Homo-oligomer: A and B are copies of this chain.
């Protein structure tokens, strides 16, 4: 028996469920490669169609537009990451250890997960670093949020926030600290490789230093006195 991880996605993310057809899976797979290669701005459904060997019109049957596809991809990622967090903290009771695991999962380039064969999580991670915030930094954020499109992100944030409160129930800003470490795990990575003077690890390009920074940030903030 082959174990297949199926992530249940919000129906509003798509017009037709891409996980249920061959073309749908190709759309996800190829869009991840193309966005990674040329960036989201240069990405178009026409180029994606040519890459897949299908037509624009066919892709529009799955997604309203490229921004919706980006939201879908990011939502998929956050769902997957929350699942990773759940798995990797399952049998840990010490909240400090849990938090360290979480930080590592957030900040580390992941190995490809064979359970989701048609998605390359490593490349996906890099996309989320460079393009992830563009999913919500728009004028439609409130409307999209009403459709629950950002629920996976918010769920992950809530989960991390609860681990923080496990460690120190008195800490005043668990959610803001969560969103801070999520975003900073990505921004510090982007800065390290692209604008190194905004970080303290520019010359080393050593991702473990980002982990050290985040651990230091988190634990000094939530330390009980």
Contacts and interface: CB of A to CB of B under 8 A. Distances in A.
A175 B199 contact: yes
Residue picked from A141, A153, A195, most chain B C-beta under 10 Å: A195
**Identical subunits present:** 2
B138 A213 contact: no
A86 interface: no
Contact of A198 (B38, B154, B184, B190): B154
Given A179-B188, A216-B172, A217-B177, A158 B197 contact: yes
A213 to B, nearest CB: 5
B154 A176 contact: no
B134 A137 contact: yes
A136 B188 contact: no
A157 interface: yes
A173 B199 CA distance: 8
A150 B136 CA distance: 23
A153 B133 CA distance: 19
A130 to B, nearest CB: 6
A217 B216 contact: no
